[in-house]
Each structure stands twice: as C-alpha cells, then as structure tokens.
Amino acid sequence: MNLLDVLFEIGTQLASYFPYYVILVLIPMLIRLGLERLAGISPDIFAARVGSMPDLFPTLAYETAFKEFVLSSMYYPLLEEIMFRALPMLFCGEIGLIVGSFVWVLMHPAWQLSYLRGFPLSRKILFTATTAFYYACCAVFYGMMWVAGAGVAAILYHMIHNGWLTLVDMIKKVEVPTPWKKFKYVSKKPVEAPMPVITEREERGEAVESGLKFVKRRSPAEASETLITSFVRRREEVSPPPASEPSEPSMSFVKKRTSVPSRKEGENLEQSRFSFVKRATEG
C-alpha cells in the first residue's frame, strides 16, 4: 500500500466519522455551554489560559499565539491519545481503553475547576457534571475509532477539534490585523500627556458651581503659568492683613525708656551723683 492509498483511507475515515463527531462532540459541547451559561459560568473565565498575561496587554503576541496553537492543537491531542487510549489498549485491550478514557475525562474538570474559585459550591458541582458529560461523549467518539482500527483518524479529529477551539479563543487578541476587530492597536507614535483643562471661572479664582460649563483648553505652557498665577493669588488672599500702626498708649512706655533726657534732667542727675560721691568720701 503506497502513501496515496494510506491518505485516501484516512480521508475516508475522517468523512465517515463526521456525523459521529457532530452527535458526540459538537452537540454535547453546545448543551454544556448552554447549561453553564444558565448557571452564570461564562467561557471568558478560561481566557487566562491563552497567553501568560492577557490582562496587561491589548493584543496577544505572535510568538505566544504560535506556541499556544502548537501546544493545544498538536502536542496535547497527540500526547493524550497515545497516553490515555493507544497505550492502555495496546497493553490491556478494551478494558485499558475504558480505564484510560475514564481518567482522561476526570482530568479536564480537575484542572478547570481552579478557574472557579470564589463560585458557590453548587455551581462548581454543576460545572463538574457538565464537563464530565461533555468529555465522556468525546471519549466515546475517540474510543470507537480506536476500536475500529482508525487510531490515526482519532488523533487527527482531536487535533482539528482543539485547533479550531484554540483559534476561536485567540482570534480576538492575536497580534494580526483583522477587519472585524473592534479595538484599535496601540499607536507607534509617542502619546503626549493630555493638556489640563481649566475653566474661565477657575482662572479668575471664582468658585465653580455644579452644572454645565464651557471649558477652554490651553497649551501646557499656558496651563502651568495660569496655575502658578492662581496659586500666588490664593496665597495673597489667604495671607493675613499687615499690622496697623500701634497707637500712642501702647508705645508710651517704650518712648519713655528710649527717649533722651532733657538738659534740666541731666543737671539734676549729675548733681545727685556728685552729692552721693561727696557723702561717701566724707564718711
């Protein structure tokens, strides 16, 4: 059997199992999403698994998107199909396939429940039931192909399924321009700081009342000059008034202490000093 015959056989298997894919994978997925939405669990809570820091960057970098797509749509499906179905079936037959698929089903809600921290217990239990139901249907779909000898088709279906789901998650954030995206990309030009907005009444130092008012935009230089002027004006208004000239009674004592004695008072003071000295020498 040459390569073309092998590819033709695999294509035939893919086409023949497509109705089962719709019944056992797509319809259970829609039922699961509907029940979880009714319970208030949105698929957006799992958006953190696409990219390392989805909340800090408006777009998903190309290298991160490429890595995530390869891991989710190629590496994980191949690893899961070999580990949980091919090897157990090879060593233990159909019983090993059932056991491996059972473990595969429980592994998905086991790690996905970490995104539901803070939710009520009833919603966590509902999420566990809906997730287990969906992946059990998927396990039946992939297992029936392994039993029928279409293991390669099972791996390809798993890759295709994870691939388009990963693309749906990343298409809104990937760093590739698309016409249907609503957000705008960050401009390469430096973003200038917004100019401060000062109203005419604030410029005059008046109180601004609530309600509609006209706003006048100014350049950064004019705005800084206006702010400095208003600050100086407010300091002048708040500063206390200059002290008035002291009245005559309050300064009379100082004038008396600092005033120069008159001529007559000087003679009397000198005479009193002479008499004191004279008495001291006589004694």
pLDDT in tens, 169-193: 887 666 555 555 554 444 444 444 4
pLDDT(241) > 80: no
The pLDDT score that the predictor gives to residue 257 is 52
pLDDT(239) > 60: no
The pLDDT score that the predictor gives to residue 183 is 46
Q: Does the CA dihedral 90-109-135-79 come out positive or negative?
A: negative
Q: How far apart are CA 258 and CA 82, in angstroms?
A: 111
As a whole number, mean pLDDT of residues 260-264 equals 56
Q: Beta strand pairing status for 215-217 and 197-199?
A: antiparallel
pLDDT(217) > 60: no
- Least confident among 49-53, 144-148, 212-216: 49-53
The residue that leads in pLDDT, 19 or 59, is 19
Residue 127's nearest CA partner among 26, 63, 32 is 32
- pLDDT band at residue 57 using 50, 70 and 90 as cut-offs: very low
The pLDDT score that the predictor gives to residue 193 is 46
First to last CA, the chain: 155
Contacts of 232 (CB under 8 A, 6+ apart): none
Q: Three-state DSSP class for 201?
A: helix
The pLDDT score that the predictor gives to residue 168 is 85
pLDDT(128) > 80: yes
The pLDDT score that the predictor gives to residue 171 is 78
As a whole number, mean pLDDT of residues 270-280 equals 56
Q: Which two tokens stand for residue 111?
A: 């790690």
Q: Three-state DSSP class for 134?
A: helix
The pLDDT score that the predictor gives to residue 121 is 94
As a whole number, mean pLDDT of residues 125-145 equals 96
Alpha-carbon radius of gyration of the chain? 45
pLDDT tens sequence across 89-120: 999 999 999 999 999 999 999 999 988 988 99
The residue that leads in pLDDT, 228 or 43, is 43
> Among the ranges 1-15, 38-52, 53-67, 239-253, which has the highest mean pLDDT value?
1-15
Contacts of 46 (CB under 8 A, 6+ apart): 112, 115, 169
DSSP for residue 60: B
Q: What is the mean pLDDT of the chain?
A: 75
What are the sequence ranges of the domains in the chain?
Answer: 3-170, 197-238
Burial class of residue 254, CB neighbours in 10 A (0-12, 13-18, 19+): exposed
- pLDDT band at residue 42 using 50, 70 and 90 as cut-offs: confident
